[in-house]
Each structure stands twice: as C-alpha cells, then as structure tokens.
Amino acid sequence: MEESDTAAILPADVLNSTSEAEEADAPTTAGSCDPLPRFSWPRLPPVSVEPVLFLSMFSLALQAPLSTQYLWDRLSEDLGYNGSKRSECTNGSVPPDPLQKEVETLTAHWNLYISLAGLSVGLLVVPLLGSWSDLAGRRPVLILPNLGLALQALVYLIVMYLKLPVVYFLLGRMLSGLSGDFNAILAGCFAYVADTSDRRSRTFRVAVLEACLGLSGMLASIIGGQWRRAQGYINPFWLALATNLASALYAYLFVRESVLPDPSAKLLTPRHHKAVWRLYSSGGRSSEDGGGFHRYKLWFYTLSFFLVVMVHSGCRELYVLYELSSPLCWGPALIGYGSAAQHLAYLSSLLGLKIMQRCLEDSWVALVGLASNITGLVVFSVADTIQLMFTGYGLCFLFMAVTPVLRSKLSKLVDPSEQGALFASVACVESLCFLVGSGVFNSLYPATLHFMKGFSFLFAAIILIMPAGIIGTLQCLDQRRAPRESTVS
C-alpha cells in the first residue's frame, strides 16, 4: 500500500498531527500503523463513500414522489374522487372541486404522519449512531441504515400488493427510523470526508458529496416518473429495495475504514449524547483559542443550518402536491421532470461554488446561494403555469451552495478528534429539520389554500432571510477580528 493510499484511510487525528504547512498540501502519514488488511486486487484510487451516498439517495428520491402520488391515488379512490375528469385543470373559471381539496388535505396530513413516524424515532437513534461511529468506525453507520431503508421499501411493497390501508406506511417508516434512516447515512458520509480531507479542500469535498445527492436524485426522478406512468408503482419500489441492498453491500465490501475501530465500543450508552452536549456547551477543544466567540459561532452556524435545511425539507414535500393539484394538474412525467430540475441544482451549485471560491470567501458564496433560493421560492408562490414553475426551478440553480459551506464551517470549528460528535449533532439537527419542516409546511399548506395556494413558499423565502443575516454578520465580525488578532500576535 503506497503512502497516498495509507493517508486516505488513517484516522483524522493522525492526519492532523502534521504541521499547518503540510496540511495545506495533500495529507501525509504519521507513524507506521496500518489498521486495515491489505487488499490483493490491482492498484486503484482510494475508494470513498460517494457511491454509497449516490445509491442511497437514488432509492430515496425514487420513493419520495411516488409515495405522495400513491397516497393521492389511494385516498382519491377511497373518497370517490376521479382526478382524470377534473374540468378545473383546463378551465380556470370553474371553482375547485371540494373533493380535490379534501384529497389534498388528507395527502398532506398523511405525509406529515408518515414523516413523524420515522423522524421522531430517528431523532433519538441518529446521534447515537453518529457518535458511536467515532469509536466503532464509519462503515457500520453506512450499512445499517441502508438495510433499514430496504426494509421500509419492502413494507411499502406489501401494502401495495395487498392493498392494505395506508396506515401501514407508518410501520415501514418506523423500522427505517430505528436503523437511523437516511440521515445516519449522511452523517457517516460527511464524517468520513472530514476524516480524510484537509481544511482547505473540505468545503469542495462536502459539495461533491452533495452533488452526488443531486445527480442521483435527478436520475431517480426522471426514471420514477416515466416508469410509474408505464407500469405503475410496484416495479419502481422493487428497484428502490435493490438499490438500498446494493449500497449496503458496496459499503461492506469496498469502503475502507477511516478511523481505527474500537471493538469494545458500546452503542447503547449515554456517553454518546453527553459527547454532543459537551461539544455545544463548551465549544469543543478548539474554543481555547477563540473563547466565547468560538462557541457562539458554533451555535449560530448550527441555527443557520437548521433554518436552511428545514426550508429545503419542508418545501420538498410540497412540490409534488402543489403540482398535482389545479391549476397545474401535472401528470407523472412532468412531476418527474420537475423533480429532476430541482435535483439538477445540486450540480449547478457545485460548479458555481467552485467558480465563486476563486474570488469570494465561503460565507459570501453561501449568501449568493440563499439569494438564489429566495428568488426561486417567490416565483413558486405565484406559479400557475408550467413555464413559471420551471422558471422557479431555474432561479434556484445555486440553492445547494449553502449547506456545504455551513457543514464545512462547523467541521473547521472543532478539533479533529471531535468530528464524530460534531456530525452526530449535525445529524440530530438534520433529523429535527425534517421533523419540524414536515410538520410546519404540511400543516401550513392546507391551512392557507383558501387565500393563497403558494403562501407556504413565500413563508419559506421569508425564513431564509434569517440565516442570510447570521452568516453575513459572522463573516463581517471575523474580518474585523482578523487584523486585531494579527496585531496582537
């Protein structure tokens, strides 16, 4: 095993024991410890976690819009509503069908109940798995949640085959939540990147992971919409099941461990939650140089991350519902294209971030991304035609440049030995984002249909002004403190 390959798999605290000058270049090895068995196949670049995240996201993006459409169809069937004969889709002067509003409301509420079933359980499990991975290794946190997601897809398939009541969807989500759900996979992947990257390249490495989310989501959305129209719901869910199993198998066979596993590490212990609490109560070991301001930055960046991801997750569940109903009345193909356009922004955000980093600090890049998101949401709030809806998707072409910047800033605020606790807390916050976002927006949407159909998107745009103010203020304070610190030193 060559020196570059060994550096890619050594623990983060070993990598960061080198000098700052060495850290600016590629990571180098320290010591002769090689905790992993040597592989016998030909020389290859170090295998990372991008394929795991790609496959897991493909399964999630394939299921999410199809689940909403399935709920719509099943509830329409139960209520006797035939959506194919809606005259209001072609004639704006016809008042909306009361049954359509009832189907919309019930679908939004069932989306909320199903999300709560999984995310409330995951909120307790994800921080345990994330902090445990700092001791037991990252690979278990990449394998177990994928198996849970596969089990969820299997439950959904049983419901569809047997035409069981949609309440059984709750069981599938709870089983997935007990294994950590998709948020645990995110925590494991981002912690893995923090283990194997230096501070200078970390923002872009995180953005590459998020671009994998977008690319897989785009492909899944196109395939899912066309496949559902051609063959129904069951076959796409079989693919989702197979994809999660493939992701777990890939992580087991090919992903090299980035930390030295401790076989005695226990999962069910309060130690993991305490590690997260100590990080935010004291600011971590790195706060010794930054004082209280360092701890405040950790809290404020976490708050910004919470608000941004809450808006993203809450609005994502409304897009399909907004497009299914009048005046848009989109079919499966258009819904697939719309979801693909949304996920294409992950790639355009990666390209934009790489270009803007040449002349802008990361904080200003994040503000540009927030401006892109806000303008797109404002257009969504008044969109009543296909052209306006896709204009909104186009304006959001940089909206995913925000979260990689925030993840990177949080990662740089803590010591290398605290990355596990940090990403456990970020995973916990992300679970809370999905929980709160789903609750707020799935409740707000039916409550505001009578006076403004797109009010939820306008409300989301207003919320995003808050993290923009926080990020801008912290960047200005950092710029003012830098000359003082250099003078003192």
Is pLDDT of 19 > 80? Answer: no
pTM attached to this predicted model: 0.73
Percent of the chain, pLDDT > 70? 82
**Confidence at 486, pLDDT banded by 50, 70, 90:** low
Task: Assess whether pLDDT exceeds 60 at residue 18.
Answer: no
Structure-block tokens of residue 194: 């923090």
Report pLDDT for 4. 40
DSSP state of 221: H
Residues 6+ apart with CB under 8 A from 362: 203, 405, 408, 409
pLDDT over 80 at 60, yes or no: yes
- Give the distance between the most distant pair of CA atoms in the chain: 76
Is the backbone peptide bond immediately before 11 cis, with ω within 30 degrees of 0? no
* pLDDT confidence band for 32 (50 / 70 / 90): very low
Give yes or no for residue 254 having a pLDDT over 50.
Answer: yes
More confident residue, 392 or 486: 392
Taking the CB of residue 354, how many other CB atoms lie within 10 A of it?
15
Instruction: Outline where DSSP puts E strands in 373-462.
Output: none
Q: How far apart are CA 188 and CA 210, in angstroms?
A: 13
Name which of 288, 278, 258, 273 is nearest 413 in CA terms: 288
pLDDT digits (tens, 9 = 90+) for 272-329: 667 777 777 776 555 555 556 777 889 999 999 999 999 998 998 789 889 988 888 8
Token readout for 477 is 């304070």
Residue 384 · residue 328 · CB < 8 Å:
yes
How does pLDDT run across 162-212, given as a tens digit for each residue? 999 999 999 999 999 999 889 889 888 988 988 888 877 888 888 898 888
Taking alpha carbons only, the member of 55, 70, 54, 59 closest to residue 239 is 59
CA dist 264 and 259 (Å) reads 14
The yes-or-no verdict on residue 126 having pLDDT over 90 is no
- Which has the closest alpha carbon to 234: 348, 73, 417, 443? 73
DSSP state of 33: -
Task: Give CA–CA dist 315/318, Å, rounded.
Answer: 5
Per mean pLDDT, which range of 21-30, 158-167, 217-226 is the poorest?
Answer: 21-30
pLDDT of res. 42 = 36
Task: Provide the angle, in degrees to the nearest 10, between the axes of the packed helices 50-79 and 234-254.
Answer: 160
Question: Which secondary-structure segment (H or E) carries 4?
Answer: helix 3-9
What local confidence, expressed as pLDDT, does residue 99 receive?
84
By the 8 A CB rule, do 445 and 118 touch?
no
> Is 421 a residue whose pLDDT tops 60?
yes
Alpha-helix residue ranges (DSSP H) falling in 283-399:
287-324, 332-356, 362-382, 386-395
Encoded tokens for 261: 């596993």
Measured CA angle at 64 (ends 61, 65), to 5 deg: 100
Domains delineated in the chain? 46-83+96-256+285-488 (1.20.1250.20)
Higher-scoring residue by pLDDT: 468, 332: 468
